[in-house]
Amino acid sequence: MNSRADQLKVFFLPFPVSGHMIPMVDLARLFAMHGVNVTIITTPANAFLFQKAIDRDANSGHQIKTHILEFPSAQVGLPEGIENFNMITSHGMSHKLYHALSLLQKPIEQLFQEMTDCIITDMFYPWTVDSAAKLGIPRLVFHTAGYFSQCAASSIKQYAPLLSVNSTADTFLLPDLPDTIEMTTLQLPRWVRTQDGYAQLMDRIRESERQSYGAVVNSFHELESAYEEHYTSITGIKAWSVGPVSLCVNRDAADKVERGNKVAPKENEWLIWLNSKECNSVLYVSFGSLNKFSTAQLIELAHGLDASSHQFIWVVRQKDKDQDEGWLEDFEKHIKESNRGLIIRDWAPQLLILEHQAIGGLVTHCGWNSILEGVTAGLPMITWPLYAEQFYNEKFVTQVIKIGVSVGVTEWRQWDEEAREAVKREEIEKAVIFLMGSGVQAAEMKNRARELGNAARRAIQSSGSSQSNLMSMIKELTSLKCGRS
């Protein structure tokens, strides 16, 4: 460990939504485990979601703490305690939350002046580039998505291939990528298709990325090597792959079960159930932390799973549930009677479930964290992208690393909107039967997934690629600090 005078101090600034906050907290804890003095800047309701893990780390001797800023609820007109995107229930609230975050800029900048050597922030704080420049310290952007999606988005931004097609359903090639990847306009995020306020924010984010000292990426070399190289060549900045951060940090059951810290499911019911199942016989079905499905979609999914005759654990979110629930209760009773399925309400201990030997695959909305957690567990997947960069991630899973099969979603949508068309039960049934079955193609996918899981584990061992990258990044940031003082 460094002597106190040389000890690197890093401030971490997570963006308040589970898919960004969870991996950044993992990253901050990883830094502290390697002798860095870490402060995570957050607000009360967000701190509540991960404070226990931080306290455990601090009690075991790591230099890690949260710095809690008051959340300007009254000023922006949000109810007390609503401080992240998972908690909001309307589009209007989303605007208020962005407003609240903009009000936090000043106190955060003041905090930066209190002696930090480096800032690692989420991409959604592009202004931190200027704050760091004023202080003469490095700002690193933490990418909670992998390299492939950044490269795909950059290809589209630079070459505008969507302008070459006549219809939004026609496919076009994404130029200048290491693999041949085709997409349709319908699969692209709205901000790529229209020049709205969000598109301007994304441009500002890209600009700030290129002005950053470097990028820290939750990925590992063996998973995306070609895209890791392509990313550094198109952005011109350094990039350190240090993932999977979930695997590096969450080593005991308390860490895993509390990660995300929502209400845990009925104690160990899922574990008892999984323990009674054969290896690789159960499909895990989850759509992340933000999605809301229409009742029609939930019904199609229930029928598709049922018709496949395979066993499954399905996480049904609270937001989904506030629709007519009678049919879901009937369905739950039906699958319990046949002992074929289990429904977990709202929040599942995903890391623990995925690593259980009875799990043989997952249905994922292609959030990067879920993909990486599935890869880490060595699992093949059914891809069902919804929003954000998830359609790019689907291409990566199905065409680059080839460990997944698409359920066939055709159109991108906003995270808080419902899809215009539901995925039909027949498509779901077909994908489940393919993935959980014993066909040659599925067996090849399973082998590739298993190999990647092994590679993920090797990457975080002491001579592994991610571990080496982490150590050399910390060394470089420490020598920058020493050079300044």
Verify whether residue 196 is a known catalytic residue: no
Q: Least distance (Å) from ligand UDP to the CB of residue 63?
A: 25
Q: Least distance (Å) from ligand UDP to the CB of residue 84?
A: 11
> Which residues contribute to the site for ligand UDP (CB under 6 A)?
18-19, 22, 259-260, 286, 288-290, 315, 347-348, 350, 367-370, 373
Q: Least distance (Å) from ligand UDP to the CB of residue 92?
A: 21
Nearest residue (CB) to ligand UDP, 238 versus 413? 413
| C-alpha to C-alpha distance for 464 and 441, rounded to whole angstroms | 30
Nearest residue (CB) to ligand UDP, 315 versus 363? 315
Among the listed residues 141, 106, 104, 112, the one whose alpha carbon sits nearest the alpha carbon of residue 9: 112
| C-alpha to C-alpha distance for 394 and 378, rounded to whole angstroms | 17
| C-alpha to C-alpha distance for 143 and 216, rounded to whole angstroms | 6
| C-alpha to C-alpha distance for 219 and 309, rounded to whole angstroms | 35
| C-alpha to C-alpha distance for 385 and 408, rounded to whole angstroms | 9
Nearest residue (CB) to ligand UDP, 91 versus 134? 91
Strand partners, 382: 363, 405
464 contacts 223 by C-beta, under 8 angstroms: no
Dihedral sign, Cα of residue 293, residue 295, residue 297, residue 302: positive
Write down the catalytic residue from 20, 143, 230, 365: 20
Dihedral sign, Cα of residue 364, residue 370, residue 371, residue 373: negative
Verify whether residue 20 is a known catalytic residue: yes
The residue to which tokens 């979603």 are assigned: 409
Q: Tell me the residue number closest to ligand UDP, measured at CB.
A: 19
319 contacts 325 by C-beta, under 8 angstroms: no
Strand partners, 359: 282
Write down the catalytic residue from 26, 57, 117, 122: 122
Nearest residue (CB) to ligand UDP, 350 versus 398? 350
Q: Least distance (Å) from ligand UDP to the CB of residue 350?
A: 3
Q: Least distance (Å) from ligand UDP to the CB of residue 153?
A: 16
Nearest residue (CB) to ligand UDP, 51 versus 63? 51
| C-alpha to C-alpha distance for 365 and 13, rounded to whole angstroms | 26
Nearest residue (CB) to ligand UDP, 22 versus 53? 22
| C-alpha to C-alpha distance for 54 and 67, rounded to whole angstroms | 12
Q: Least distance (Å) from ligand UDP to the CB of residue 237?
A: 23
Four-CA torsion 389, 469, 245, 117, nearest 10 degrees: -90
Among the listed residues 360, 358, 382, the one whose alpha carbon sits nearest the alpha carbon of residue 370: 382
Catalytically annotated residues: 20, 122
